[in-house]
């Protein structure tokens, strides 16, 4: 089995594709077009068009939070999701998709409840988890699903 020497990451600011060496800290990489950092030390809100591009072209690791503003458990989990993004932001990007504003995009996953987290790795869906979690559970889940060493 061979491992990728680089990953293609979609800049969620301008939509351009960026090649990043495998193992390089995301905070060290910036979009070659707009200069925005590729790391997400804070979760980034995305829309359906950006999600489609991520799913079609991106080969890095990222976690998508499907949520809605009226959802109590979603709001309760938001600080833990942000803390996890801060802790793992050099290795994994963290995105949020408002299911009220992006119903068609959210519908492609056939989810039954929110919040739902979906992890992607190497251009494929790697795992899905429904229900609110606190930071320790989020860290453990992301680590197991994406193969991130826990230290």
Annotated catalytic residue, options 11, 14, 31, 71: 71
Q: Is 74 a catalytic residue?
A: yes
Q: Is 71 a catalytic residue?
A: yes
* CB-count burial class (<10 Å; 0-12, 13-18, 19+) for 48: middle
Query: What is the spatial distance between Cα 59 and Cα 120, in angstroms, rounded to a whole number?
Result: 8
Q: Cα angle vertex 87, ends 77, 51, to 5°?
A: 65
* 91, 39 contact by CB (below 8 A): no
E strand or H helix that includes residue 113? none
Tokens representing 37? 């950092």
Catalytic residues: 71, 74
């Amino acid at each position: 089995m061979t491992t990728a020497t680089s990953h293609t990451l979609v800049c969620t600011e301008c939509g351009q594709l960026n090649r990043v060496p495998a193992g390089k800290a995301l905070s060290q990489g910036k979009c070659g077009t707009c200069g925005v950092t590729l790391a997400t030390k804070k979760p980034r809100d995305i829309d359906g068009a950006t999600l489609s591009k991520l799913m079609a072209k991106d080969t890095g690791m990222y976690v998508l939070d499907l949520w809605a503003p009226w959802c109590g458990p979603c709001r309760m989990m938001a600080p833990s999701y942000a803390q996890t993004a801060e802790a793992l932001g050099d290795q994994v990007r963290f995105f949020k998709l408002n299911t009220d504003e992006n119903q068609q995009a959210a519908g492609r996953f056939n989810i039954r409840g929110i919040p739902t987290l979906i992890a992607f790795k190497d251009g494929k869906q790697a795992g899905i988890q429904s229900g609110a979690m606190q930071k320790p559970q989020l860290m453990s889940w992301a680590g197991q699903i994406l193969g991130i060493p826990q230290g």
